[in-house]
Amino acid sequence: MKDKKRIFIAEDHAIVRDGLRSLLSVNEGFEIVGEAEDGLGAIRLISALKPDIVLLDLTMPRMNGLEAIKEIKRQSPSTKVLVLTVHKSEGYVFASLREGADGYIPKEANYSELILAIKNVLMGRTYISPAISGKVVEGYLEGKKETETQSLLDTLTRREREILKLVAEGYKNKDIADLLCISVATISKHRDNIMKKLDLHSAAALTAYAIETGVVII
């Protein structure tokens, strides 16, 4: 009998982990060997278990997904990493691939695509969901080739990163203006620029991104 492929699930939402486990456990070719709800826990277990593939969320507590990918590849080079996330921007795709990810699909993908992605990655192929690859190509056509060597965070200026951090820490525009000794109007302009660069449209989204990328630590 052919050996089963050993899968590890790194996802902070229990209901998503349960769903993935249930879906994949019925496949005779797969075996779920471990799970983790945060980045540090995933790193520790993956280092010990050396699974064939990790299904990894990008947004996790204690260590974000991008940092986790890099550490997984350092500690267990033979382990494949398939990113399974809500983020569909080309910036996230490039950042993930740069850190060593072997595939990238959105959480909205159906079961058939998930299995296809897992099988392709296990065969040594890089898999990017068609739902995302169009955005990647579009990014190139718009002259955004620099995003291949820069994460979205790298596109922010030093001042914009500083304001992003303060927004994520819960400061309002007036508070930030007072702290940085600049006008509220200038803060508003910086926030607009940050949102455009990151393709995010609310303070909550900015906060989630800042936590995920390590701009702020919770």
CA distance 80 to 139: 26
pLDDT tens string 144-197: 444 443 467 878 898 999 999 999 888 999 999 999 999 999 999 999 999 988
Q: Tell me the average pLDDT of the chain.
A: 87
The three-state secondary structure class of 143 is coil
pLDDT tens string 40-73: 999 999 999 999 999 999 888 888 888 899 999 9
Cα Rg of the chain, angstroms: 19
Domains of the chain: 5-141 (3.40.50.2300), 156-212 (1.10.10.10)
Higher pLDDT, 52 or 143: 52
pLDDT tens string 62-108: 888 888 999 999 999 999 999 999 888 777 888 888 889 999 999 99
